[in-house]
Amino acid sequence: MDVPASLDRFVHATRLDSLTIHGRPRARSLRWWPLVALAALAAGYALYVAGSRSHWDWRVGLVGAALFYFAFGAAQVVPYFGPRLIPDADGALDEREMAVRARAGCIAGTIMTLSTTAGCFYLGLAPVFGRAWAPAGPAEWVFLGLSFIAAARLLPVLIASWLLPRPDEDDG
């Protein structure tokens, strides 16, 4: 096999051809990356809060903020590489894609609504219990709001990826 053919095969196998004008983006199932990004968001937020409240060294808060912003950036990019949830240059969504989109959106919306409602009840009752955690300053509230934005971007991709059947091994 000559060098250009092997490079073409490598580009196709790694799906980098979807980033060129000649390639066609292929929707793929991202079953674990959104979950990793959500876990990194939570870990980054917790480390930031612990560092900013002087529970640990200030460097821990800095690492937490960096992890949080890295995960937030990933949350903005991951939907473009996951299942097709919005029409793009390939055309309109077919019936199966519309059904997956509707179901993933409903489940994600329900999760976001219930978690926000539970959070409101918790924050309303936190002062009653004294030692319960609540955001202390504006930065913690901003991080919390950004985490909800990131979760709203990641949850439909995560759910749609698990609703889709597993891809065949020969679909490289």
Per-residue pLDDT tens listing for the chain (172 residues): 788 888 888 877 776 776 666 666 565 667 788 999 999 999 999 999 988 887 788 888 899 999 999 999 999 988 888 787 777 766 787 888 888 889 999 999 999 999 999 999 998 888 888 877 888 889 999 999 999 999 999 999 999 988 887 766 555 4
Torsion of CA 103, 145, 37, 54, to 10 degrees: -150
C-alpha 58/C-alpha 67 separation (Å) is: 14
Residue environment code for 154-166, b if the CB has 16+ CB neighbours within 10 A, otherwise e: bbbbbbbbeebee
Q: What pLDDT was estimated at residue 27?
A: 59
DSSP-derived secondary structure for the chain: --HHHHHHHHHHHTTGGGGSSSS-------SSHHHHHHHHHHHHHHHHHHHHTTSS-HHHHHHHHHHHHHHHHHHHHGGGTSS--S-BTTBS--HHHHHHHHHHHHHHHHHHHHHHHHHHHHHHHHHHHSS-----SHHHHHHHHHHHHHHHHHHHHHHHHHHSPPPPTT--
CA distance 95 to 28: 17
d(CA 157, CA 33): 10
pLDDT value of residue 164: 82
**Where do the structural domains in the chain lie, given as residue ranges?**
29-163
Residue 89: per-residue pLDDT? 66
Residues forming a β-bridge with 91: 88
Model-level pTM?
A: 0.75
Residue 35: phi and psi, rounded to 5, are -70, -40
In whole angstroms, what is the distance from residue 98 CA to residue 87 CA? 10
